[in-house]
Amino acid sequence: MHRPLYSRLRQTGTLSLMALLASLALSGCGDDAPVPMTDAGFDASGGAQCAADTTCDDGLYCNGVERCAPASALANARGCIVGSLPCITASCDETADVCGPACVDDDGDGVTTCELDCDDANAERYPGAPEFCDDASVDEDCNETTFGDRDVDGDGYTDARCCNGTSCGEDCDDTRAGVHPALPEVCNRRDDDCSGVADDDDAILVQVYPDLDRDGDGDDGAAPLRLCAGLVGFASTQGDCEDAPGPTARLRSGRTPEVTDGLDNNCNGAIDEVSPPATWFEDLDGDGYGTRRNTRASTTVLIGYALLEGDCNDADAYVNPGAPFELCNALDDDCDGFAGFALGVNDFEDDDGDGFTDDACTESGTDCDDGDPRRYPGAPERCNMLDDDCDGTVDEACSTAPTDAGVPDASVTDAGPGADAGPADAGPGVDASVTDAGPGTDAGSVCTAPQPLFRDADADSYGSFSDYVVACPPLAGYVTAPADCDDTNAAINPAATDTPGTVGIDDNCNGTIDG
């Protein structure tokens, strides 16, 4: 396994607090004289002079054996000194009072088991490792209170799918900035305030009636309901004398103009009475709903036209305002404004709008993360502990140097990616880093110096530690300098000035936040 990027980037000598304490403790062992120690049970500040070793014993095993030696120059005020530590080359178990196995670093991440490496078989997991929001809730930094900082919609709230144990982000829909715990609930079939229920505020509900035939009028005989206005299948008014699903019922309601078709179109009890000409809307797919692209006035039925409008796709007879239900196909089947097949609360068929259906749609779903528009079949694979291209493999491109395909030759002017400007090589030195097999072709050449390049979303010349690729520079949108603590704000980076008064913001990414 290759050594992880962040292990390589850590400065030599950077140790966890546990490792530092262990090293200090070990320095007092061997041929050196023991060093007096204090802790909760070993009071060096005062008290009666010790008379026996048991007087100095603090009841702890792993910090050494305390002895009563008033004559020693190393004795404290009570005459106690600390002897050798019980575990010189091994970890120590205070609960069982035994020395554990020797400190090891089997995964080569630079952190031993004695330094609390929570998974010494995985070089990407160790105390202090960058924490990623990953699909499997892997605890990279050995701290369950952290879970990554993915915020795709940029609303300042971490995706609720970022979890470690019971610790998770708060944003129940990270595809929309208009959804997070601090927002009020509005009528849109979504859980805007992340309460767990969509459209649950009674103050936003109105009185509506069933509209089974989708003609815009509610059933005359139906009782009113309190729901959100504008829902498909419901109307704000009554007046429909025939509200059964189907094309005939759609031509009968209080708002339908009367035409000569043998029906009581306007529900007034009369059939085909004299009335002004009705407006007919062009209906190319023959589904009973037209568009305003072409309209005609007539008192009789017109072939290729419909009395109802609102068709959002007049080339598909299965897509119209009267569609009986949404299909899980990334299409707006019922013309209500979005692809609305519901898989759960705030979980629809194409939430991220990338044109790929959620893989929870059993028949047609291929999007392995419908909450991130950067992840879909065929997407570029990034080094982020995620399967960006939905091929079942995570970060497969991050340990392999990319080929030179598309990378210009070092000392020539290219007419296009990977193509030499001239018809042939002028001689040695023209193509500085490749060997050409023929005119204009970089055959078999490789990128000789791939390196970590960090995503610079805010274009401030500093990249994000959590989003990188291994490639040859230059690469558009990526830089060689990491350590940007907020890659959505160009005014925040390690070169910025920490401005007094910007409360709660670490302007220069030094770890200090203005109070």
Q: Which residue matches tokens 């690469």?
A: 475
Q: Phi and psi at residue 234, in whole multiples of 5°?
A: -140, 150
Is the per-residue pLDDT at 12 higher than 60? no
Residues 364 and 355: their CA atoms lie apart, in Å, by 12
Residue 484's pLDDT is what?
Answer: 85
Output the CA angle 182-208-217, nearest 5 degrees. Answer: 135
Preceding peptide of 474 cis, ω within 30°: yes
Inform me whether the pLDDT recorded for 75 exceeds 50: yes
**Largest interatomic CA distance in the chain:** 123
CA angle 119, 122, 126 (to 5 degrees): 55
Look at residue 241 in the predicted model and tell me its pLDDT.
Answer: 94
Average pLDDT on 428-440 reads 38
Q: What is the pLDDT of residue 207?
A: 96
**Which residue, 106, 118, 87, 138, is CA-closest to 16?**
118
pLDDT at 420 over 50: no
**Mean pLDDT computed over every residue of the chain:** 79
Tell me the pLDDT band of 7, cut-offs 50, 70 and 90: very low
The predicted-structure confidence for 460-510, as pLDDT tens digits, reads as follows: 999 887 777 767 777 888 888 878 888 888 888 888 887 766 556 778 887
- CB neighbour class for 143 (10 Å; exposed up to 12, middle 13-18, buried from 19): middle
If we measure between CA atoms, which residue out of 73, 76, 82, 75 comes closest to residue 34? 82
Strand partners, 478: 455
**How large is the average pLDDT for residues 39-61?**
73
| pLDDT confidence band for 9 (50 / 70 / 90) | very low
Band (pLDDT 50/70/90 cuts) for residue 414 is very low
Does the pLDDT at position 440 exceed 50? no
Mean pLDDT across 362-384: 88
pLDDT-derived band of residue 439, with 50, 70 and 90 as boundaries? Answer: very low
Strands 163-164 and 167-168: antiparallel
Banded model confidence at residue 42, pLDDT cuts 50, 70, 90: low
pLDDT average, residue stretch 256-268? 93
pLDDT level of residue 340 (50, 70, 90 thresholds): confident
Determine the pLDDT at residue 210.
95
DSSP string, 75-131: --TTSEEE---S-SSEEEETTTTEEEEEP--TT-SS--GGGT-S-TT-TT-STTPPP
pLDDT at 442 over 60: no
Looking at residue 479, its amino acid is V
- pLDDT greater than 60 at residue 24: no
- The percentage of the chain sitting over the pLDDT mark of 90, rounded to a whole number, equals 38
What is the rounded distance in angstroms from the CA atom of residue 391 to the CA atom of residue 378? 8
| pTM for this model (two decimals) | 0.49
For residue 228, the model assigns a pLDDT of 93
